[in-house]
Amino acid sequence: MSELPALVKDLALILVVAGMVTLLFKKLRQPLVLGYIVAGFVVSPHMPYTMSVMDKADVQTWADIGVIFLLFSLGLDFSFKKIFKMGMAPVIAALTIIFSMTALGAVVGHAFGWSRMDCIFLGGMLAMSSTTIIYKAFDDMGLRQQKFAGLVMSVLILEDVLAIVMMVMLSALAGGADPDGGQMVASVVKIAFFLTLWFVVGIFAVPAFLRHTRRLMNDETLTVVSLGLCCAMACLSTLVGFSSAFGAFVMGSILAETVEADKIMRVVEPVKNLFGAIFFVSVGMLVDPQILVDYALPIVVIVLTILLGQGIIGSAGFMLSGQTLKTSMRCGFSMAQIGEFAFIIASLGLSLGVIGQFLYPVVVAVSVITTFLTPYMISWADPCYARIERRLPRRWIRRLNHLGSPTRDTSHDTGHWHRLIRKMLTATLIYSVLSVAVVTLMFSFFLPFVRQILPHWWANGVCGILTVVLISPFLRSIIMKHNHSEEFKALWTENRVNRLPLLFTLLARIAVATAFLFYICNYLARFANAIVITLALAVVMLMVVSRSLKRRSIRLERLFVQNLRSRDIEAQVHGRRRPLYEGRLLDHNLHIADYDIPAGSLLAGQTLRELQLPARWGIHVSSILRGHRRINIPGGDMPVFPGDRLQVIGTDEQLREFGNSLRQEVDAGDEHIEQREMKLRSMVIAADSPLAGKTLSQSGIREHYGCMAVGIEMGEGSLAAIAPSRPFSPGDVVWVVGEESALRTLPDLQR
């Protein structure tokens, strides 16, 4: 028999040991991540008394795949819309914590005389708290529903996003970029450009693809397709100079906006768990006990740095975001640990060869210690606040509580300006990125191709015309978008002083669109600048007055918004989210409420017209959720069945009265349930029986007597079905089923 490859043996050893250790950690109610790390330590070459992995290189390859799938799953659980809805408070807290802890970690590393890259990577590791560990700690301590826990989770979501950006920045630093020079600014611009491009193009393409193939998708094909998209984006990310993990996260965030997001999360969960376990096991394999002994002092100092740094800096960050001192301390103390992203950043440093071998096991040891201390840090927040409150003067406490309170501009005019400028900048950024992408693709691929077919100037002309045609909807959107918005109209009509600045915003956007045309013409034609600018302005004016471009722009934007909102629409259809128009109803003292029709409801079985809900309670049914089907604006002939969920509109008083009636108008049940037992009896048709000579349908056994004839004896105890046209004859033995009281009414029943 052939010998098994070393990879299969290593995989068997890893999974068996990991399974046993994680079962133990599950029993001890400890995070499974720590169990995987311990399992990796057990199977590592540093443990001479146990079996160890033979080929670490193959395991590291599997671990790299695990990082890709971990970040893909993180992207699936992430939504850019959540970030936009959070406001500035979590952003302020996250940025304060990340920058401060990064600087603090770099200072600690410098104090020990470590290299510059070791210090920078250490700072990045210390800035990332563990979402998994904090979530589990809140769950175990019953704190998930408290307000401060929601604030912490919002900041953790932002930290996960910024960690992806930090990995790209650290890769740029490792490649020799000057952290104080223009290359870092270029790296940031590059990240923003590709992130915007991939997200916008992905929202256009991926939901449309899944929508058209939805009928062909089962669990198997959806798993293959989603993981294929993940790996394809990971490869594309590496081609443009980013890490594969960054691309996997982007694809996950794109799929998170689709209707299939929940199903994708479910089907890829086992794959993520498998490769994620291998990754964390590989983390434990790098732990060298001798390094832990040699670096015991740095480990203790780094642990204290995290505990004190997050306790003080983290609390200050939340205070700056507008939280009270007590809430800020509870949030800051909760984040005093590092976890999975610290391991990923350390793996990045090792793969790039820019950090020392000692740093990885040091960070793992720090993570283990801070993880065990996390519940204690959360519970210590309130006693620490109580002690500070007793020691500090009351006026200081009041000032600290209002340190981050945002100052609100009450100017209605200023609010319009803020919203309008934000919308215009967002639209200009998105459409500029799309235009740059189209121009780059046309000049990089199409222009060399067409020059092989046509003469030089003809090729330039064809490429230029096609490029302008392709980007014209984007350029028109840059110029015209939000010129007819409510904010623009309000500013234009309310104050004549606003008109000149509004015209300036239009001219600035025309200049942006003109710059694209100027670049295309100058690149292809080499005309004099004056001619190019004149030509560009003429084309811009044609774009503005073109109705076909307007229709194309509106169609593209509607498709994008529809794809972006597809998951929200699916949640509304299935009753997991309230409709968007609810907010406007609240302005008119109307509300939306969902009511389930109970099994014994007296309303069940009647149509909406028969129920007369508007006349009886003053409410209106906007939709009925029946199984997986939503019936919007049901007609009067629509019946109501048990288990239906009615979405009704009315005032608080009307809804309350309807809810009370729905609970009261329920069948109380059968008081004589014991008499409803069904029994089987036989009867012999007598010569003078009223059933003699009649067929089954004529006998009225079901209609008049409330019983059912199940068969007729054919001899030797066998029963045969009774044909509807067969008349009963004297002497026939007929077996019937019914309740005892109904059976007694049969004329020929044997008693």
pLDDT digits over 459-506, tens only? 877 888 888 878 877 777 787 777 777 777 777 777 766 777 778 888
DSSP β-ladder status, 719-720 and 678-684 = unpaired
In angstroms, the CA 57 to CA 389 distance is: 55
In angstroms, the CA 348 to CA 723 distance is: 81
Task: Label each residue of 605-662 as H, E or C.
Answer: CCEHHHHCHHHHHCCEEEEEEECCEEEECCCCCCECCCCCEEEEEECHHHHHHHHHHH
Lowest model confidence (mean pLDDT) among 28-32, 53-57, 250-254, 600-604: 53-57
Single-letter amino acid code for the residue at 535? L
pLDDT digits (tens, 9 = 90+) for 74-115: 778 766 666 666 567 788 888 888 888 888 988 988 888 888
User: Nearest 5 degrees, angle CA 202-CA 341-CA 111?
Assistant: 135
| Inter-CA distances, 544 with 473, 540, 591, Å | 10, 6, 43
pLDDT value, residue 407: 41
451-480: string of b/e by CB count within 10 Å (b at 16+)?
A: eeeeeeeebbebbbeebbebbbbbbbbbbb
pLDDT digits (tens, 9 = 90+) for 196-207: 777 777 777 888
In angstroms, the CA 69 to CA 245 distance is: 8
Q: In the chain, count of helices (H) and strands (E)?
A: 33, 8
Q: Whole-number mean pLDDT of the chain?
A: 78
pLDDT digits (tens, 9 = 90+) for 500-532: 777 888 888 887 887 787 777 777 776 555 466
Of residues 701, 735, 731, the one with CA closest to residue 718? 735
With tokens 């939306």, the residue in question is 592
pLDDT value, residue 348: 80
- Give the residue, 158 or 80, on which the prediction is more confident: 158
DSSP β-ladder status, 678-684 and 629-632 = unpaired
CB atoms within 10 A of CB 70: 24
Q: Is-above-0.75 flag for pTM?
A: no
Q: Does residue 737 register a pLDDT over 90?
A: yes
Side-chain-facing half-sphere of 673: CA atoms under 13 Å = 4
In angstroms, the CA 744 to CA 738 distance is: 10
702-736: string of b/e by CB count within 10 Å (b at 16+)?
A: eeebebebebbeeeeeeeeebeeeeebeeebbbbb
pLDDT digits (tens, 9 = 90+) for 117-155: 888 888 888 888 877 677 667 766 767 667 777 788 778
**In angstroms, how far apart are the furthest CA atoms of the chain?**
118
| Inter-CA distances, 343 with 14, 63, 122, 130, 308, Å | 18, 11, 11, 11, 21
Helix 340-352 and helix 116-126: axis angle, to 10°? 160
Q: Does residue 748 register a pLDDT over 50?
A: yes
Residues 6+ apart with CB under 8 A from 71: 164, 245, 246, 248, 249, 252, 344
Q: Does residue 412 register a pLDDT over 50?
A: no
pLDDT value, residue 87: 63
Mean pLDDT of 317-336: 84
With tokens 């034609």, the residue in question is 525
Q: Does residue 180 register a pLDDT over 70?
A: no
Mean pLDDT of 2-17: 75
Q: What does the chain come to in residues?
A: 751
Residue 639: strand pairing partners: 607
CA 440 to the chain's CA centroid: 32
pLDDT value, residue 159: 80
Mean pLDDT of 377-395: 82
Mean pLDDT of 647-654: 82
pLDDT digits (tens, 9 = 90+) for 674-724: 778 888 988 888 888 888 888 888 888 888 888 999 898 877 667 888 888
pLDDT value, residue 674: 74
CB atoms within 10 A of CB 399: 12
13-37: string of b/e by CB count within 10 Å (b at 16+)?
A: bbeebbeebbeebeeeebbbbbbbb
Report DSSP letters for 325-389, one per residue.
HHHHHHHHHHT----HHHHHHHHHHHHHT-S-TTHHHHHHHHHHHHHHHHHHHHHHHHHHHHHHH
**Helix boundaries (H) for 565-612:** 566-573, 582-587, 608-611
pLDDT value, residue 163: 77
Of residues 318, 308, 224, 310, the one with CA closest to residue 271? 224
Q: Does residue 571 register a pLDDT over 70?
A: no
Q: Does residue 554 register a pLDDT over 50?
A: yes
Percentage of the chain exceeding pLDDT 90 = 1
In angstroms, the CA 498 to CA 507 distance is: 14
